[in-house]
Amino acid sequence: IDGVSEVYSVTGDTDLIAIVRVRNHDELAEVIADGVNKIPGITRTLTNLAFRTYSADDLDHAFDLGLGD
């Protein structure tokens, strides 16, 4: 599906997480409503928006517990 860049199989209440990358909200609505929701077997979607992207280096610093020092 155009706009879906990655799909992850995950544990918990959700079976799959799809990463959708679009330029505007109108495109997001098209990808979800006209694409993902029309796939046989998809019974429900939950859409979350990411406001900011962090690099791997940012994440390493954010979750560093200082145990290796």
* 32-49 residue pLDDT tens: 999 999 999 999 999 998
28: confidence class by pLDDT, cuts 50, 70, 90: very high
* 6-15 residue pLDDT tens: 999 999 999 9
**Would the pTM count as exceeding 0.85?**
no
What integer pLDDT is reported at residue 60 of this predicted model? Answer: 78
Beta bridge partners of residue 8, listed in sequence order: 17
Candidates 33, 50, 51; CA nearest to 42 is 33
DSSP state letters, 16-29: EEEEE--SSHHHHH
